[in-house]
């Protein structure tokens, strides 16, 4: 759900999960930020596009 809403994305360059700053205050979501994702059989172009769009909506860090 967070991914679909653009509140979580995966940086295709580092494979790290990025959680929107607005969610860093939540104990459940903050630990996900920076964790390495396993991307097997995933279209990295789509991951890049999703990442760029999602992060652009987060505003300044």
Query: pLDDT tens for residues 8-33?
Result: 999 999 999 999 999 999 999 989 99
Is the pLDDT assigned to residue 59 strictly greater than 70? yes
pLDDT at 46: 96
Task: Report how far apart, in Å, the C-alpha atoms of 18 and of each of 1, 44, 46 are.
Answer: 14, 15, 16
E strand map for 1-61? 8-11, 16-19
Q: How many CB atoms lie within 10 A of CB 20?
A: 20
- Quickly state the pLDDT bin for 35 (edges 50, 70, 90): very high
pTM for the structure as a whole: 0.87
| Dihedral sign computed on CA atoms, order 31, 32, 34, 40 | positive
Fill in the DSSP letter of residue 36. B
């Amino acid at each position: 759900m967070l991914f679909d809403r653009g509140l979580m994305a995966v940086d295709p360059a580092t494979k790290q999960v990025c959680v929107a700053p607005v969610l860093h205050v939540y104990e459940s979501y903050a630990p996900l930020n920076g964790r390495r994702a396993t991307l097997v059989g995933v279209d990295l172009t789509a991951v890049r596009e999703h990442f760029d769009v999602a992060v652009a909506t987060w505003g300044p860090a």
